[in-house]
Structure 1
Amino acid sequence: MEKELTGLPRRDFIGNVSKIGILGTLAAFLPGSTSAEVLESLVAKPEEGHVFLAKPYLQAPAPDSMTIRWITNKLCYSWVEYGETDLSVKAHNVSDGLVDAHNRINQVYLSGLKPGTKYNYKVLSKEIIDFKPYSLKYGETISSDTYSFTTPQINPSSVSWLIMNDIHDRPESIPHLMNLKGTDDYDYVFYNGDIFDYQTDEQQIIDHMLKPSIEAFASTKPFMFVRGNHETRGKFRRELKNYFSNKGDKGYYAYQWGPVYNIVLDTGEDKPDDAPVYAGIVDFDSYRREQAKWVEEVMKSTAFKKAKFRVVMMHIPHFHSGDWHGPMHCRELFAPLFKKYKVDMVISGHTHKYGVWPPSEEHAYPIIIGGGPSDGNRTLIKIKADAKTLKMSMLKDDGSEVGSYTLNS
């Protein structure tokens, strides 16, 4: 949803940006600076020394693989040491014969893992202090603590996950909402958009999402992420994807975990592409049409049709969210497909008003909308499913249940 900037109403802000006419260009932010200088200004600058800016966090879980990411403040060669009982296996990424090195944003894909198996791991990064064509010099090596994760089973009988949305640069909300889960176990966390107000720089991503996630769960439990409309804004919006590992490296994706087949859609912006505030450098209509073609092919698949439950997660709900262009375009493109291929549930955010809308003449499936971002309106959505039932429970930030829904297969 739209938010007023401090001391400047939204209409005036949009008008001023329109007059500038170069929203998103580097000169608009640091006049006289080169592109390289501006990019450098967006990178986090921690205290002196060689340190982890973000300790390891888990991505893209699968029965036979896991991706581990972390961020350093120095250019490094980095790797993972892991194993079931010790840390005797070493892994690093290789691209076209070259080992990933001389970088700060790290991801290592662990393959060939056993399903349903616990692994211990730690990450290490060795600083590269001099990189000449025929002479490379290393500096200090830093190592993380040892953590553990468990790979998903193949075709597990049940799955459970937690959903947060519309955090809007309030990092304290992440551990607060996670504490509401109680003693219930869960397989992963899903961030359903608008974790930020807009994309400013790397430090914002680290401080407002990665660090609180890592401290709460993300070194031992994976999370998945989809953009909201606010993640499409700001001068660092194009770099955001470099910090996450989605299936297929797309903003939209699909996966099955046990009895649930999940489809994740990137709903883009809520205003028309030609709105002056976008300055002619967005094309979300085409992007949503691309997803509509893709999602229909996914829904035609045998796996989707045979799944006990079919759930869509998308930031902007296509009903119950007003008549702005984004929601209406989502309704035009996706509602007929959801009806035709019999989606069981849609889970969204965006409106900042939590609620559960049961099936109706407009939509033959329940639409669940999480709240946020202010105190008293934040929510944690808990999903648990087995072969017979899928249960959704929505908790407000005081721990009270403010919505529930049960599906029977």
Structure 2
Amino acid sequence: MTPAPRASTADSELVTSPLVIMAVRPDGFEGVWAVSRLSRGRLEWRTDDGEGEARMDAFGMTPQGDHVLRVRTEGFRPGATVQVRAVTDAVAAPGAQHVSAWKTVRLADGSAESARIAVWNDTHQRDDTIRALDAQTPAVDLLVWNGDLCNDWTTPGEFVSTVLSPAQRDISADRPLEVTIGNHDVRGDWAFQLQDYVAMRDGRPFSAVRIGPVACVFLHTGEDKPDAHPTFRGRVAFEPLRAEQAHWLREEIARPEIRDAPYRLVFCHIPLRWTDETPADYDRDGYDWFSRMSRDAWHDALVAWGAQLIVSGHTHEPALIPADATFPYAQVVAGGPDLDAASPEAATWIDVRADPEALRLEMRTLDGALVLAETLTPSESVRPFSGWRSPGATRSGRGGAPTPPRR
């Protein structure tokens, strides 16, 4: 169904990034895009059930900003295919408008038989590496950018080119984006602004979603040194954030779609296990190769849930640490930022494919060489999953919005 044409004045300089699709959910997603000056924005959408707009923020205002716009959609059917585009209007120049191209988004559906997930990590603002990753990575249900997008946020103008338009690419085309936060992503005087450019499902830097047979939990491992370390100058408070995630995790793993998933993956930037767990000497420039503080906070809940695999980056050194009696979850660690596949810190990408028989994970360098592989069988504690209750039919017509599910 094509919306009626409207008169507008195109402004090619008003919008400075693609429309980036983030934080996909069973009932919606968020669209994030950058602007060059004070603007208002909305999303127009169309599905087989109708068409409408998303144009309100949490406080009842039209979404607006002078650097970035974010709009949340909700109320769709799980697994629905949604076409969406962003409409941006300049506040100080009536009639100056930018309308993006249509993008297609498939929403999360926990009752789907299969899932495909790709993982990048530790790109560190390396445009050559990002271009190669973008060329290698196929269309997937979810692209997890697993931390250390940047080096440090020392200037305020790098968020758009790093997060929303890295290497001038539209990396969320045909693959909704999920960002987990790495230790370099929280460094620098301007790091506090990252949250303006990264959409999260519930407004916090941790969440969970079911993609077909795979329950995905995304956690924030914080920094690689204690909060009181002098290099942080009082800027961080990750110890209480880890405690908050521990409380949230105990509740989240009780949700039926997460509790009963055949496959149970955790994505976090700093590994929870490592090959050498000698304590770091922070007074002599030591840092954590694995996050003991995070593991101590979350281990019991992960074991109770039956977590099968932790997927991380951080070390720039690929590794597969099998599950054992003490840690019944395996740990996969991916590579670094280098384009050269022969480098000790060569970039890798991870391809996860799951179906009723198995979940298969493959890690490859950018020349296609297989680094490691892991196969999981369905958890023994799987229960039948009937899916989410349908939110009902959407309203049709311009200005309509999906009918949200009752809670």
Band of TM-score, shorter chain: 0.7 to 0.9
Equivalence for 1:397: 366
In structure 1, C-alpha distance between the alignment counterparts of 2:106 and 2:212, rounded to whole Å: 15
Deviations 1:285-306 (A, max 9, x none): 2221221222122234443332
**Cα distance, 1:155 vs. partner?**
1.6
In structure 2, C-alpha distance between the alignment counterparts of 1:384 and 1:213, rounded to whole Å: 27
- For 1:329-340, list aligned pairs within 5 A: 329-340=293-304
- For 1:235-250, list aligned pairs within 5 A: 235-250=189-204
2:356 to 371, 387, 400: 387
Equivalence for 1:351: 315
| Aligned amino acid, residue 71 of structure 2 | V
| Aligned amino acid, residue 375 of structure 2 | T
Name the CA shift for 1:208/1:87 in 2 (closer, same or farther; >3 Å).
Answer: farther
**Cα distance, 1:353 vs. partner?**
0.2
| Aligned amino acid, residue 113 of structure 2 | S
Residue 107 of structure 2 is aligned to residue 138 of structure 1? no
- For 1:220-369, list aligned pairs within 5 A: 220-320=174-274, 322=277, 323-324=279-280, 327-369=291-333
In structure 1, C-alpha distance between the alignment counterparts of 2:22 and 2:162, rounded to whole Å: 18
Equivalence for 2:134: 178
| Aligned amino acid, residue 110 of structure 1 | T
Name the CA shift for 1:62/1:339 in 2 (closer, same or farther; >3 Å).
Answer: closer
Name the CA shift for 1:365/1:353 in 2 (closer, same or farther; >3 Å).
Answer: same
8 Å CA contact 1:57–1:214 kept in 2: the answer is: no
Residue 69 of structure 2 is aligned to residue 106 of structure 1? yes
**Cα distance, 1:240 vs. partner?**
0.2
**Cα distance, 1:87 vs. partner?**
10
Deviations 1:23-63 (A, max 9, x none): xxxxxxxxxxxxxxxxxxxxxxxxx9842111201012123
| Aligned amino acid, residue 349 of structure 1 | G
Deviations 1:246-266 (A, max 9, x none): 111101111112211111110
In structure 2, C-alpha distance between the alignment counterparts of 1:81 and 1:294, rounded to whole Å: 33
8 Å CA contact 1:260–1:311 kept in 2: the answer is: yes
**Cα distance, 1:164 vs. partner?**
0.6
Equivalence for 1:36: none
In structure 2, C-alpha distance between the alignment counterparts of 1:303 and 1:142, rounded to whole Å: 39
**Cα distance, 1:185 vs. partner?**
4.3
8 Å CA contact 1:50–1:140 kept in 2: the answer is: no
Deviations 1:83-114 (A, max 9, x none): 24899633312444432335441122223334
What SS is found at the alignment partner of 1:73?
Answer: coil
- For 1:105-124, list aligned pairs within 5 A: 105-124=68-87
Equivalence for 1:370: 334
Equivalence for 2:395: none
8 Å CA contact 1:273–1:285 kept in 2: the answer is: yes
| TM-score normalised over the length of structure 1 | 0.79
Residue 46 of structure 2 is aligned to residue 53 of structure 1? no
Higher relative contact order at CA 8 Å, sep ≥6: structure 1 or structure 2?
Answer: 2
Deviations 1:151-189 (A, max 9, x none): 3345211111100111112132223123333xx541110
In structure 2, C-alpha distance between the alignment counterparts of 1:393 and 1:73, rounded to whole Å: 40
8 Å CA contact 2:206–2:220 kept in 1: the answer is: yes
What SS is found at the alignment partner of 2:360?
Answer: strand
- For 1:162-241, list aligned pairs within 5 A: 162-181=118-137, 185-212=139-166, 215-241=169-195
| Aligned amino acid, residue 131 of structure 2 | P
> Hey, which of these two has a bigger chunk of helix by percent?
1
What SS is found at the alignment partner of 2:97?
Answer: strand
8 Å CA contact 2:33–2:164 kept in 1: the answer is: no
- For 1:53-72, list aligned pairs within 5 A: 53-72=16-35
| Aligned amino acid, residue 197 of structure 1 | N
Equivalence for 2:108: 152
Structure 1: runs of 5 or more not aligned: 1-47, 130-136
User: Is the deviation greater in 276-285 or in 326-335?
Assistant: 326-335
Deviations 1:233-281 (A, max 9, x none): 1111111011111111101111112211111110001112221111133
Show structure 1 runs of 4+ deviating over 4 A. 85-88
| Aligned amino acid, residue 100 of structure 1 | P
**Sequence identity percentage:** 25
| Aligned amino acid, residue 407 of structure 1 | L
Equivalence for 1:6: none
8 Å CA contact 2:119–2:350 kept in 1: the answer is: yes
| Aligned amino acid, residue 340 of structure 1 | A
Equivalence for 1:128: 91
8 Å CA contact 1:128–1:139 kept in 2: the answer is: no
Equivalence for 2:45: 82
| Aligned amino acid, residue 166 of structure 1 | D
> Hey, which of these two has a bigger chunk of strand by percent?
1
In structure 2, C-alpha distance between the alignment counterparts of 1:315 and 1:140, rounded to whole Å: 41
In structure 2, C-alpha distance between the alignment counterparts of 1:110 and 1:214, rounded to whole Å: 26
In structure 2, C-alpha distance between the alignment counterparts of 1:102 and 1:262, rounded to whole Å: 32
Name the CA shift for 1:234/1:126 in 2 (closer, same or farther; >3 Å).
Answer: same
User: Is the deviation greater in 248-257 or in 217-226?
Assistant: 217-226
8 Å CA contact 2:39–2:90 kept in 1: the answer is: yes
Structure 2: runs of 5 or more not aligned: 1-10, 281-286, 379-407
| Aligned amino acid, residue 42 of structure 2 | W
What SS is found at the alignment partner of 2:247?
Answer: helix
In structure 2, C-alpha distance between the alignment counterparts of 1:121 and 1:268, rounded to whole Å: 33
